[in-house]
Amino acid sequence: QGVSLELHPGEVLALVGAAGSGKSTLVALLQRLREPSRGHLLLDGRELHAYALAYLRAQVSPVSPRRSQRRRTRPHCPLVRAQVVAVQQEPTLFARSIHDNVALGARDRSRREVEAAARRAGAHGFITRLHRGYDTDAGELGGLVSGGQRQAVAIARALLRDPRVLVLDDPTSALDVEAQLQV
The pLDDT tens digits of the residues spanning 116-163 come to 999 999 999 999 999 999 999 998 888 888 888 998 999 999 889 888
Number of Cβ within a 10 Å radius of residue 118:
26
10-64 pLDDT per residue, tens? 777 777 777 888 887 887 887 788 888 888 888 778 888 887 877 776 643 333 3
| Full-model pTM | 0.69
Q: What is the pLDDT of residues 62-99, one digit of tens each?
A: 333 333 333 343 333 334 456 667 677 778 899 999 99
**Fold assignment, 23-60+77-181:** Rossmann fold (3.40.50)
For the chain, what are the domain ranges?
Answer: 23-60+77-181
HSE value, Cβ hemisphere, 13 Å, CA-based, for 50? 8
Q: What is the pLDDT of residue 64?
A: 32
